[in-house]
Structure 1
Amino acid sequence: MEEKSLNEIIRELELSESIELSSIPNIDLYMDQVITLFEDKLTHTKRNKADKLLTKTMINNYTKDKLLMPAAKKKYTKEHIILMILLYELKHILTIGDIKELFRVIIKDDKVDAKKLSSIYQTYLNSKIRAIETFETSVEATTKALKEEISKMDLANDKQIENMLLAIMLTEKATYYKRLAEKIIDEKIGARE
């Protein structure tokens, strides 16, 4: 749980790496091309090398679940790709039902307002930069507070225990954010009808 090694781990996460709007082709892509784009641009997000970021089955299921608009002539637009990126990021934490509720804000009758979606995505990317800075500060504060607590107990100098407790506390914080996001979906987005 040493500061330097934890900072190295955070750097290895490559949190600031994103698919910028300018990196999304302005031409429609076939499914295999979309999958290749994800593999090229988001490989750093894989926990294990064998993990699949996106598959044909996933894309078909997202379309069936109305998380994505149907492809036009088997081709996917820039808007499809933006939605798939957001979906990829959200599904780590939220259920497909919650994501569907979120996407209802922008997808109406299998159509999406391209300009509005681009603005949403760019705002997401800009906010993500600030969130990364806050994340790093929060991890440092959590680590410091945990070390203070550990020093009061007979757990000091046991790195495995320190790392276990840090993982538990980071998971606890993630739970707070997840629960808050669910409440916003339930009370602010889902309640709009």
Structure 2
Amino acid sequence: MESLEQLLSKLQLNNHIELTDIPDLDLYMDQVIQLFDNTFNDAKRHEKDKVLTKTMINNYAKGGLIPPIKNKKYTKEHMIFLSLIYELKGVLSIQDIKLTLSELIEGSSRSSEELQTFYRHYLSLSKRNSDKFRQDCTDHLSEVEHLLKDENAMSSEHIMLILTLINMSNIYRKAAEKLVDSLTVQQDK
């Protein structure tokens, strides 16, 4: 089994599109895809996995997950929305993503600065979450090692750590889904 530090370094936990990565000029779709590929390529689980495709972008646009595109060019705001969708799509359905981002999408007429400030805060929280996750993983591994110290099978430790991480993932996913569901209740009022 790889060391925990080796595993964590492969996760690319702080791999995000930073505002400084996004040019101030509008991009064509191929340039958008290239930016996402360059940023997230190392974070893909399998080589054949696609980070972002033309079809995905078109579906997000048709589904109202991003503001309308003008002249086939994507603004910095579009890039922010696509980055947020990229983060959410691993856990939430497209409908849940639309509901989650609806306030931002509908408020996209607000200044670009407000959206960029929101995104900066998100990136800052993501960095702190990554740091906490590293510490939590170390703590989980210590707990597993302690519980299984009388066992003599390394595979048990490996399996137990997988189960522990999946359990934590499920807890966080369920909490996020409940928060999304509360958005539906708020919109119905």
Q: Provide TM-score, normalisation by structure 2.
A: 0.92
Alpha-carbon distance in structure 2 between the residues aligned to 1:112 and 1:75:
19
State how far apart, in whole Å, the 2-side matches of 1:112 and 1:151 are.
57
Q: Does the alignment pair 1:161 with 2:146?
A: no
Rounded to whole Å, the distance in 1 between the matches of 2:104 and 2:113 is 11
1:68, 1:110 within 8 Å by CA — same for their partners in 2? no
Q: Distance in 2 between matches of 1:96 and 1:136?
A: 29
Contact preservation (8 Å) 1:30, 1:76: yes
- Report the counterpart of residue 190 of structure 1 in structure 2: 184
Do the aligned partners of residues 109 and 146 (structure 1) sit closer, same or farther apart at CA in structure 2, a change above 3 Å counting? closer
Contact 1:69/1:110 (8 A) holds in 2: yes
Provide the residue aligned with 1:49 in structure 2.
47
Contact kept in structure 2, 1:70 and 1:110, CA below 8 Å: no
CA contact (8 A) 1:27 1:77 kept: yes
2:110 and 2:78 map into 1 onto residues whose CA distance is 9
Q: Distance in 1 between matches of 2:180 and 2:140?
A: 27
* Structure 1 letter corresponding to 2:167: E
Runs of 4+ in 1 over 6 A off after TM superposition: none
1:109 and 1:55 map into 2 onto residues whose CA distance is 26
Distance 1:112 1:99 in 2: 20
1:35 offset after TM fit, Å? 0.3
Residues 121/78 of structure 1: CA separation in 2 closer, same or farther (3 Å cut): same
Deviates more, 1:15-24 or 1:170-179: 15-24
Q: Residue type of the partner of 1:186?
A: D
Matched-pair identity in %:
38
In 1: Cα distance, 2:128 partner to 2:107 partner: 34
Partner of 2:170: 175
User: Matches of 2:35 and 2:140 in 1, distance apart?
Assistant: 36
State the distance in 2 between where 1:109 and 1:144 align: 45
The 5 A counterparts of 1:1-193 are 5-108=3-106, 111=109, 113-151=111-149, 156-187=151-182, 189-193=183-187
Gaps of 5+ in 2: none
RMSD between aligned residues: 1.7
- The amino acid across from 1:105 in the alignment is E
- Greater percentage in strand: 1
Cα deviation, 1:34-67, whole Å, max 9, x if unaligned, reads 0011111111211112211000000011111111
